[in-house]
Amino acid sequence: MADLQHRWQDGFPKIGIRPTIDGRRKGVRESLEEQTMNMAKGVAALLSENLRYPNGEPVECVISDSCIGGVAEAAASADKFAKAGVGVSITVTPCWCYGTETMDMDPSIPKAVWGFNGTERPGAVYLAAVLSGYAQKGLPAFGIYGEDVQDAGDATIPEDVKGKLLGFAKAGLAAAYMRGKSYLSMGSVSMGIAGSIVNDAFFQEYLGMRTEYIDMSEFVRRMEEGIYDDAEFEKALAWVKDNCLEGPDNNPPHLQTSRERKDKDWETVVKMAMISRDLMVGNPRLAELGFGEEALGHNAILSGFQGQRQWTDHFPNGDFLESILNSSFDWNGIRAPYLVATENDSLNGVVMLFGHLLTNTAQIFADVRTYWSPDSVKRVTGHELSGAAAGGILHLINSGSAALDGTGEQTRDGQPAMKPFWEISEEEAKKCLKATSWRPASVEYFRGGGYSSDFLTRGGMPMTMSRLNLVKGIGPVLQIAEGYSVELPEHVHDALDKRTDPTWPTTWFAPKLTGRGAFRTVYDVMDNWGANHGSISYGHIGADLITLASILRIPVSMHNVAEEHIFRPRAWGLFGTDNAESADYRACANFGPLYK
């Protein structure tokens, strides 16, 4: 089996396209019917041709049966959308329409309005009127208005309008897909890390998600009682032996384990990976084996594994299960990642989920461990940082749990990249595996043994690091830092890497600097980061993260995204236009969580 396809059995939210029209008959409406419906069809084609669901299939759009000229047709459209599973709403019009009579009133569906910039029957007038109604009713909507005037017969979608339609749709679908899904907490709080205190209210009210919990003893039960597919286990173990290169053991000789113990650890960590996946999404094969309850899973699109310390002081660590599930390939072939947060850091898991749903790519989970200033690098190695790294670099490294896609061994246009699974070739997957070694775990950290992935991310990749924090009195707050992966000379990397645990994967990251605020210097980025972890996504996706955050009513405390790329609901401007960061906080507090 290439993947457990049942994980997609509930389908995906669709985008509803609402063509609104001037309701006056006897010539006015009739003259606009074809143009208005064609606008809707054009938007549907744009979205389906450019956006894909996490399983690789094109996004589906549903168009209202008729143009919407009044409340009766608006209600009929809402009924059709509800039955069709629409989770995102886009209203389009080339003309004046009756604002509050034609608007989408569902409070939980992200919504946008494109008002055609034309002079004959200006859609901009309706756009302004209906956005005023949305603000007055407490239903924030995104306004889309092209910069240049178009002729009435122009059926093209301008580039600036395309960008906003696609940006909104990506973020809206991410919000809609999370609704009704689960976060699975495998274990509890790891080493007092605040992010692994799973906050039910946050998941429920801001993301529309459930929180599910299992004790880590469930892994022991399933291993001892054989609650896994033994045939798949044999296949997986053989694949691991052929594809997972075991690296040198860095432990002192008296703490190194026997070959027999190492082989046993491999068996255990492979079973742990299979069991984690089955816990998340279920596995029909378990029902065939007589385990009907376990076959169902927890409907989880995201999970976290506590590991440290109660598990890892006695059993092999979770690095393999986290690394291989977070990657886009395993013994069943190339497939979509299963997102697992290290140390059950649910808040870092959430931004992993945001990044994945916006890009359909695997994510790197890492400690934001060390800021290396140019002076410090030169003092330790004699090397002078330059290029993107000239202002200093951040050492992103964690206990071997990052997705193997993070090696950068996939390519796009000849450059290192991380790609959606359907674009990854077998050769690229093999290169990622070949660039990774599996090091016997440091007994200093993991008394129970296990394996940690070790790789070095290739330089030159555009990347976005993000983090969600909970602040008492405010709620969730998002941080974003766009930048680039950096490649250092081998001797420089070795000198810096060996000052910490060299058995873990490293990404050298240089954030883009703006010269002000938290991005005045690289040191300021490190100094303002809100937690010990960050999630790193391929590409500069800060603008999409900001759009998604505004849909979910999560303010953004720091980012280095250019102002002209930021897209939020029109009502945000009513909270002030001079200081967008301050207005964002006030708007989010005013409208409150999406599902409260």
Q: Report the catalytic residues.
A: 343, 367
Contact 82, 202 (CB under 8 A): no
Nearest-angstrom CA–CA distance, 29 and 279? 55
188 DSSP assignment: S
DSSP state of 369: E
Measured distance CA(530)–CA(482) in Å, rounded: 16
Whether 509 and 482 have beta carbons less than 8 Å apart is answered as no
Q: Which whole-number Å values give the CA distances from 291 to 84, 273, 386, 460, in the listed order?
A: 33, 18, 58, 48
**Rounded distance between C-alpha atoms, residue 280 and residue 302, angstroms:** 8
With residue 377 as reference, give the H or E element that holds it.
helix 374-381
**Cβ-proximal residues to 83 (8 Å cutoff; 6+ apart), any chain:** none
User: Cβ-count burial of 392 within 10 angstroms (0-12 exposed, 13-18 middle, 19+ buried)?
Assistant: buried
Residue ranges in 190-300 assigned as alpha helix (H):
200-202, 217-224, 230-243, 259-281, 284-288
Are residues 326 and 403 in contact, defined by beta-carbon separation less than 8 angstroms? yes
Using alpha carbons only, give the angle 357, 358, 364 rounded to the nearest 5 degrees.
75
Residue type, 351: V
Instruction: Report the C-alpha gap between 42 and 57 in whole angstroms.
Output: 19
Distances, alpha carbon 565 to alpha carbons 71, 141, 517, 542, in Å = 34, 17, 18, 9
DSSP annotation string for 471-520: ETTTEEEEEEEEEEE----HHHHHHHHTTS-TTS-EEEEEE---SSGGGS
Q: Is 343 annotated as a binding residue?
A: yes
Three-class DSSP category at 262: helix
Antiparallel, parallel or unpaired: β 462-471 and 533-538 = antiparallel
| Cβ neighbours of residue 299 closer than 8 Å, sequence gap 6 or more | 10, 180, 181, 182, 210, 212, 281, 282
Is 391 exposed, middle or buried, given 0-12, 13-18 or 19+ CB atoms closer than 10 A? Answer: middle
Nearest-angstrom CA–CA distance, 7 and 495: 44
Contacts of 132 (CB under 8 A, 6+ apart): 99
Q: Does 533 belong to an annotated binding site?
A: yes
CA distances from 163 to 146, 159, 489 (A): 10, 6, 38
Query: Is 540 part of any known ligand binding site?
Result: no
- Between helix 28-50 and helix 159-178 the angle, nearest 10°, is 70
How many other CB atoms are found less than 10 A from the CB of residue 435? 19
Q: Which residues are annotated as a binding site?
A: 343, 367, 533
Q: Which residues are annotated as a binding site for Mn(2+)?
A: 343, 367, 533
